Amino acid sequence: MNEINNINNNINNNNNNNQNENENYIQNIIPIIIEEPVLIDNNNNSNNSNSINDDKLIEHNDNNEDEQLKLKKLLLKRQLGINENENDFIQQQQQQEEIKSIVEEENLNIVNEENRKQQILIESFIDFQNSLKEYCSGPIILNEDQSNNSLEKFYKGSKWSPDGTCLLSCTEDKFIRLFEINNNYNENNEILNIDKAVIEIKEFESIYDYCWYPLMNSNNPATCCFLTSSKEYPITLWDAFNGNKRCTYKPYKDVDDLESAYSIQFNSNGTKIYSGFKNSIKIFDIDRPGDYYNEIKTTFKKNKNKNKKRIKGNSYGNEENLNLSGIISCITFDKQSSSGFFAASTYNGNIGLFDERMDELVDILPDPINLTSQQNHSDKMNINTKMGITQIMFSPKDSNYLFASFRKSNYIIGWDIRNTVAQQVYQLYRPLSSHQRLQFDIDPFSSRYLSTGSQNGQLLIYDLFNNGNLIYSNNSLNQSLSLINNENNNNYNNNQSDNICINSTSFHPFLPLISLTFGERQFNLNSNNNNNNNLKSFSILKY
Are residues 217 and 115 part of one domain? Answer: no
Per-residue pLDDT band at 15 (split at 50, 70, 90): low
pLDDT in tens, 460-482: 999 999 999 999 887 644 443 33
Are residues 311 and 383 part of one domain? Answer: yes
| Overall domain count for the chain | 2
Range of the domain at 72: 2-42+57-124
Q: Lowest-pLDDT range, 23-37, 168-182, 236-250, 317-331? A: 23-37
Are residues 306 and 166 part of one domain? Answer: yes
Residue 407 maps to a domain: yes
Are residues 504 and 377 part of one domain? Answer: yes
Per-residue pLDDT band at 2 (split at 50, 70, 90): low
**pLDDT score for 92:** 76
Burial (CB count within 10 angstroms: exposed 0-12, middle 13-18, buried 19+), residue 177: buried
Among residues of the chain, what percentage have pLDDT more than 90? Answer: 34
pLDDT in tens, 342-398: 999 999 999 999 998 888 999 999 988 875 544 444 444 544 347 899 999 999 988
Computed over every residue of the chain, the mean pLDDT equals: 74
Are residues 110 and 75 part of one domain? Answer: yes
Residue 52 maps to a domain: no
pLDDT in tens, 138-156: 444 445 444 444 456 788 8
Instruction: Taking residues 490-512, report their average pLDDT.
Output: 68
Are residues 116 and 136 part of one domain? Answer: no
Are residues 197 and 67 part of one domain? Answer: no
**pLDDT score for 46:** 46
**pLDDT score for 158:** 92
For residue 81, pLDDT beyond 60: no
pLDDT in tens, 268-310: 999 999 999 999 999 999 999 999 999 999 987 655 444 444 4
Are residues 304 and 271 part of one domain? Answer: yes
Per-residue pLDDT band at 411 (split at 50, 70, 90): very high
Are residues 137 and 18 part of one domain? Answer: no
Give residue 210's identity as a one-letter amino acid code.
Y
For residue 531, pLDDT beyond 70: no
pLDDT in tens, 235-251: 999 999 999 999 999 99
Strands (DSSP E) contained in 258-400 are 263-266, 272-277, 280-285, 294-297, 314-316, 328-333, 341-346, 351-355, 360-364, 389-394
Closest CA to 508 of 451, 469, 428, 460: 451
Are residues 174 and 114 part of one domain? Answer: no
Are residues 209 and 88 part of one domain? Answer: no
pLDDT in tens, 420-466: 889 999 999 998 888 888 999 999 988 999 999 998 888 999 999 99
Residue 30 maps to a domain: yes
Closest CA to 143 of 423, 513, 526, 489: 489
Which residues make beta-bridge pairs with 333?
342
Residue 353 dihedral angles phi and psi, to the nearest 5° = -100, 135
Instruction: Taking residues 59-66, report their average pLDDT.
Output: 60
Decide which of 497 and 245 is more confident.
Answer: 245
**pLDDT score for 262:** 96
Write the CATH number for 145: 2.130.10.10
Cβ pair 466, 133 in contact under 8 A: no
Residue 50 maps to a domain: no
**pLDDT score for 457:** 86
Instruction: Taking residues 321-349, report their average pLDDT.
Output: 88
**pLDDT score for 493:** 36
Residue 359 maps to a domain: yes
Pairwise CA distance, residues 37 & 40, whole Å: 5
Are residues 253 and 325 part of one domain? Answer: yes
